[in-house]
Structure 1
């Protein structure tokens, strides 16, 4: 099954390799240098040829990951670590591989390690919340999504709504039904996201009203007419256990 983590991964890796020198210089002037700045400075101290080799290998690793050649990706990351160990971009890619093979404990350790280097990185914060979600650690997932949502940039509306939907499901699992209903009613059908339909479907499922829930999901498919736009939302309901996987797996009862 695909995970939201793996859809959101590529931007982080490239961004961390080419971290803006201006930003790094500004942070370096602070009394206590940030770990991400120290990492950038150490990376920039490498010979130019090694930095270029690293960037090229990173792109190859990302391409392998996109092709779901996970063990080849891990081998390429080992090569990256020989040039520069524990770069956040390589760590995040390794963590995503572990998520894909459902080695969630290893993935969590990786993502926690990245946060020690880049504590304000919302991509990694999302990854940690998502791992809690797919491993059904509902209380921790609730806490992480609650803390994450206000930190997300307003321009990333799609991710905000998806996180709010996951938070709603965590609320249902942790007995916060009134909060979940209030969150459901926060947006109407004109919100320009699948949230309206999926949040209502989730509440209907929770109330054992499968007919109305499926009607809402059918409405979402009619309005959006794009499986790719709905795949993360559909995967979320599969992970939660409300609907059957496309691959024929029996979904776990979420009740």
Structure 2
């Protein structure tokens, strides 16, 4: 991010002021993550198209097989984690299909604009932004610590603890999804073995062997689809979203320390450039 980029970002922040001429808060907005939705949708659509073109899509529907894979995967995953972890996974899953409306570099421009505003008007001038920033807990906490006049080292330590805790919770949710992705194919195999045993009980009727074998293999199909095409990609997206959120929160932490030390925003820009991913 060059000096020209910074000046451009500051002009954008001033051109869209908040209440009372305050700079616009960086980040906060959310949008649908089209990559996740399109990827999952396209994968499932191709499977469905292959079934329809094969001429017998109804043959791939079997309720007992679904119960073994879905119910078994959920039960085994619950046995591996606490109920708190399961609830965290549910929250992470709900956030896997959304992404920040601003890129990290746009957030960085907004952070520099806030630091420049605080340098010109004093840290107390940021106090009206605490309320509007509540949708971003780390940003709101950073502004509160700046307004309270906490030493830079203490503010950074508090924010770092909060960032690490948020990241740990997200990783715990992703671990639940990854465990479920591992269990689903195994439950599919168990269902297949159950189906094979049932099939062997009808060897006296050759006409039933083929259909019974097809039903037995459906659980493996369901387990592979659920684990590899749904749960595993969602777990990866949860981890990526958590890392991106931690990066943005880290920018807020750097800004809080810089403002508390009353440093020149130019130094903060140089520091931010060291942590931003290269474009």
Q: Same fold (TM over 0.5)?
A: no
Q: Which has the higher helix share?
A: 2
**TM-score, length-normalised on structure 2?**
0.29
- Between structure 1 and structure 2, the one with the greater Rg is 2
Superposition TM-score, scaled by structure 1 size: 0.31
- Structure with more relative contact order (C-alpha pairs < 8 Å, separation 6 or more): 2
